[in-house]
Amino acid sequence: MEKDVRVIEVKRSIFENNDQDAARLRAELKEKKVFLLNLMSSPGSGKTSTLLALARALAGRIKMGVMEADIDSAVDAEKMMEAGVKSIQIHTGGMCHLDADMTRQGLYEFGMDGAELIVLENVGNLVCPAEFDTGAVKNMTILSVPEGDDKPQKYPLMYEKCDLLVINKTDVLPYFDFDKEKVERYAKLRNPDIDILYISARTGEGIDALADWIVEKANEWRA
């Protein structure tokens, strides 16, 4: 005898709860005048090297701190601390992303009183991190030249969710078949409002423009 099977949309419920939690966290950040920037990308794109270059460019302009998220290790947080940047390490317990509640726990450990700019370096992954709203004010993704210009086609959600696309490692453009016109077109198809900047964290090219973008958005949020 056939019986009706009760189906529970667990995934939908999880996302809905997380979105509500993220909205509450943003309200708290607004009240405390803290600008939280969620940085996402694949492993090896240059997240940490970009943050180190940004720390130098933002010195004296805005107080910057970093929350490093990884499945394990504290390598990235140690690099930031060695550079004089306030930093904590978040271990995700094997999860490939952060959600709003995990981000809140990290922020409380970091300490939001007196903070101005906190960058959340999310787990290196082009899929999972884009699915979960962390409560950040803005989302930024890095795409390095060696990864190729087709990533907005292959991982559309990442580019739909991000306010800024930073294309890193421009110093190696002559050595790769990377079409700037194509990557911009693909990204704009996914998100017509996305901003696009080109940098080389190694040489410093474009870092000042990236710092300007962050300071402008942070000032708007903190006003």
pLDDT at residue number 40: 97
Q: pLDDT at residue 169 above 90? A: yes
pTM comes to 0.92
What per-residue confidence (pLDDT) applies to 8? 41
Q: For residue 16, what pLDDT is reported?
A: 80
- Predicted confidence at residue 5, as pLDDT, reads 58
CA dihedral 156, 166, 37, 139 (to 10 degrees): -20
Q: What is the full DSSP assignment across 4-29?
A: PPP---HHHHHHHHHHHHHHHHHHHH
Q: What is the pLDDT of residue 10?
A: 43
d(CA 177, CA 143): 14
Question: For the chain, what is the mean pLDDT?
Answer: 92
pLDDT at 130 exceeding the cut of 90: yes
Q: What is the pLDDT of residue 76?
A: 83
Which pLDDT value is given to residue 75?
81
User: Could you give the CA distance from residue 195 to residue 15 in angstroms, rounded to a whole number?
Assistant: 26
Q: What is the pLDDT of residues 75-110, one digit of tens each?
A: 888 889 999 999 998 887 777 888 999 999 999 999
Phi and psi at 152, nearest 5°, equal -60, -25
Q: Report percent pLDDT > 90 for the chain.
A: 80
- CA 177, 181, 183, 186 torsion-angle sign: negative
The pLDDT value recorded for residue 9 is 43
